[in-house]
Amino acid sequence: MFFIMGIAPQQKVLCETTLICDHCQGYGRFTLIHVCQVFSLFFIPIFKWGHQYYVQSSCCHCTYTIDENKAEAIRRGQCSSFSYEDLTLVRESHVLRCPHCHRILERRSPFCPECGNPLK
């Protein structure tokens, strides 16, 4: 008799909202992602463990954690979105942006090529 079983990570997008990022001052999409490990038997998920929630920004690609109670409420459908106050910055991105016009800079220079303002 053969048993087909496995353990694999599962990633699911729970919701998306648009916010103004405090890190880069850009307007971007913030995606709430649920990650867990899944044990499967005959390709049928039996149980899940190691639940984690994080938020990824599209404007500067920073990673945030979110309050677990808020994330669980969103997952269950009790709440529809989250705000910037619910997030805690975990990892900053290394995307360079102009502090005046918020244009993404490709290389470091003393002035922004878009607006001409000096960079700090």
116 lies in a domain?
no
pLDDT at 37 over 90: yes
Residues 64 and 75: their CA atoms lie apart, in Å, by 17
Closest CA to 5 of 36, 35, 38: 38
Degrees, nearest 5: CA angle 94-84-79: 130
The model's pTM = 0.69
Range of the domain at 36: 5-94
Average pLDDT, the chain: 84
88 lies in a domain?
yes
CA 104 → CA 38, 63, 66, 115, distances in Å?
38, 18, 26, 12
Write the CB contacts of 72 (distance below 8 Å, at least 6 apart in sequence): none
120 lies in a domain?
no
Mean pLDDT over 84-113 rounds to 75
- Dihedral sign, CA of 108, 111, 116, 120? positive
Domain count, the chain: 1
113 lies in a domain?
no
101 lies in a domain?
no
Q: Kindly report which listed range (5-19, 62-76, 79-93) carries the lowest average pLDDT score.
A: 79-93
44 lies in a domain?
yes
11 lies in a domain?
yes
CB of 73 within 8 A of CB of 66?
no
100 lies in a domain?
no
